[in-house]
A and B are shown apart, each in its own frame.
Chain A
């Protein structure tokens, strides 16, 4: 390429300028963190700290007030829920509607450290009875597709109050006497089991 002699100085000057700019850029990024530090803490530690705080607060709020983590223990909900599994109780499930028949819910004892996990089979005002392996609601047989085995409980009809629900586990093969089941008030329902 041919360059007029007068322009050579200009080109040199531009090169010099670019070089110095490049060096400045290098100087700015010279205290760049090691890649391990960048992965662990991030480019900006303050933003990372804020992110951590937001995440921790969100988790605390969600897992304390919305989705309560639980560990299933016992055999009364077999075969639907096996012991040792982790699950969650959705506390907002009944914000806009009342508990429904068939819902698996957590029922509090004195508090939330220990809760019963049962299925709702009776709603307020209904009459519940068991006869020859069949549940009856107001004298009509109830279809329970979640029960997989034969059972033979017998119990006389029981009338539920205005604010009462009837709870039973899915494992009806165990003796009725050993199976914690019965009626309780609506306020004892903590929430619906999520999974």
Chain B
């Protein structure tokens, strides 16, 4: 009896491992989008004393996650809505932000992912939590990301602020 119990437990453990391995190497569209956005949040964040090379690499990696015709339209506190189009404009803005701030921490929380029926597009509603040095409180903002699958990779096509209180 004990032998059978051990066998069943072993089979179940192997099955769980196989499912986990499969989902790790072949993630669902939703998981892939979630991972992509967490990676984008990590690349958008930076800490004090970052070398010029690592800055450049981070900016390049960030750009690799966007489509060439990316559109961004976000609210920045105390300023009017800021809009930009295209990778180059985004690269310039990212470089300026990195030059002006000593550090930045970006977190994406509460990701509500809606993958299109063709599995080629996805719309994500999330809360961005942005912490800037020198500010006691963080800036929360609800954002809507539109992603597109290009050559098997999920890329950001559009980012816009959702006005929670309009």
Instruction: List residues of chain A with CB under 8 Å of any chain B CB.
Output: 73-75, 83, 107-114, 116, 118, 167, 177-178, 180-184, 188
Number of interface residues of B (CB under 8 A): 22
- Are B136 and A83 in touch, CB under 8 angstroms? yes
Other contacts beyond A182-B166, A183-B165: 12, CB < 8 A: A109-B127, A109-B140, A110-B127, A110-B143, A114-B109, A114-B140, A116-B164, A116-B165, A167-B165, A180-B164, A180-B165, A181-B165
Show 30 A/B contacts (Cβ-Cβ < 8 Å), sorted by A: A73-B137, A73-B138, A74-B137, A75-B137, A83-B136, A107-B164, A107-B165, A108-B164, A109-B142, A109-B164, A110-B110, A110-B111, A110-B112, A110-B126, A110-B127, A110-B143, A111-B110, A113-B109, A113-B129, A114-B109, A114-B110, A114-B129, A116-B164, A167-B165, A177-B78, A178-B78, A180-B164, A182-B166, A183-B165, A183-B166
Q: Could you count the A-B residue pairs with CB atoms below 8 Å apart for me: how many are there?
A: 59
In angstroms, Cα B127 to Cα A188, docked, is 14
Q: Contact residues of B with A, CB < 8 Å? A: 77-78, 109-112, 125-127, 129, 136-138, 140-143, 162-166
User: Across the interface, which residues of A come within 8 angstroms of B127, CB to CB?
Assistant: 109-111, 113-114
What chain A residues lie within 8 Å of B111 (beta carbons)?
110
Residue of A nearest to B129 (CB): A114
